[in-house]
Amino acid sequence: MAHLSQAEKTLYADYFLRMEAQLGNGDAALSIAEFENLLQAMGFRFTKEQVAAEFIKTDTDQNWKITLEEFLAIMPNVAPPGSPQSIAADIRRKFNENDLNKDGFITFDELKKVLAEANQDKTEEELRTFIKDFIKNWDADGDGKINFEEFLEMYIETELCSGDDDDEENVEVTDNGDADFNQSNPTYIPPK
């Protein structure tokens, strides 16, 4: 049986607690509808039937509520760490964290807000130039924003393919002035 890493437990617990605070009634447990919303917010895509089946398996005390402990116990089985489903959910989460208005696109203004927090030492012009270059490099359809497919292509090329030792130097992020940008924001992906 797969086990969650401490980072995964922290991530999943954070999502659970935020969902319970937003939609719950303060009982520190989720209903089936809240559970479905939680899985979607975390980037997972399940049919209603799959959600119901997972809910029933997760609700070990059969009270039609899922506690944080029940949720964390079942997650390795719902999406084993490193599985394609888990990786896909991680990519969707990262896209959604950058898509601040949830319209299905990452815009210049959204990137500016996300990157400004992680790069407070950069001037407004450095940030603008970096973001313009970023969008120019990854906006395949030329609409001036990044859709999920473009984000996915970028993620695969920069994150999943960057494990090659030969490409290590290509992961360094620089703007036109060769100034490094802070990558402490986990949702930030470097440009081509």
Please list the residues that pair with 105 across neighbouring strands. 147
Confidence of residue 180 (pLDDT cuts 50, 70, 90): very low
**Segment among 16-25, 106-115, 144-153 with least mean pLDDT:** 16-25
- Residue 166 reports pLDDT greater than 60: no
What sign for the dihedral angle of Cα 94, 100, 101, 103?
negative
Across the chain, what does the average pLDDT equal?
Answer: 80
Q: In what helix (H) or strand (E) does residue 30 lie, and over which residues does it extend?
A: strand 29-30
Distance CA 132, CA 111 (A): 10
Residue 124: which residues within 8 A CB-CB, separation 6 or more? none
Residue 69: which residues within 8 A CB-CB, separation 6 or more? none
Phi, psi of 79 (to 5 degrees): -145, 90
Residue 11 token pair: 């991530």
Confidence of residue 11 (pLDDT cuts 50, 70, 90): confident
Delimit the domains of the chain by residue range.
Answer: 6-77, 84-160
Please give the pLDDT value at position 46: 87
Please give the pLDDT value at position 108: 94
> Helix, strand or coil for residue 9?
helix
CATH architecture of the region 6-77: Orthogonal Bundle (1.10)
Please give the pLDDT value at position 150: 94
> Helix, strand or coil for residue 26?
coil
Q: Which of 52-61, 71-80, 155-164 has the highest mean pLDDT?
A: 52-61
Phi, psi of 99 (to 5 degrees): -85, 80
Predicted confidence (pLDDT) per residue in 81-140, tens digit: 788 888 888 899 899 889 999 999 999 999 999 888 778 788 889 989 999 998 999 999
68, 17 Cβ separation under 8 angstroms: yes
Please give the pLDDT value at position 81: 77
What sign for the dihedral angle of Cα 23, 29, 32, 36?
positive
- Residue 191 reports pLDDT greater than 50: no
What is the CATH number that goes with domain 84-160? 1.10.238.10
Distance CA 92, CA 58 (A): 23
Domains 6-77 and 84-160 share a fold: yes
- Residue 27 reports pLDDT greater than 90: no
Predicted confidence (pLDDT) per residue in 36-69, tens digit: 989 988 888 889 999 999 899 989 889 999 999 9
- Residue 71 reports pLDDT greater than 80: yes
Please give the pLDDT value at position 171: 33
Residue 65 token pair: 């509520």
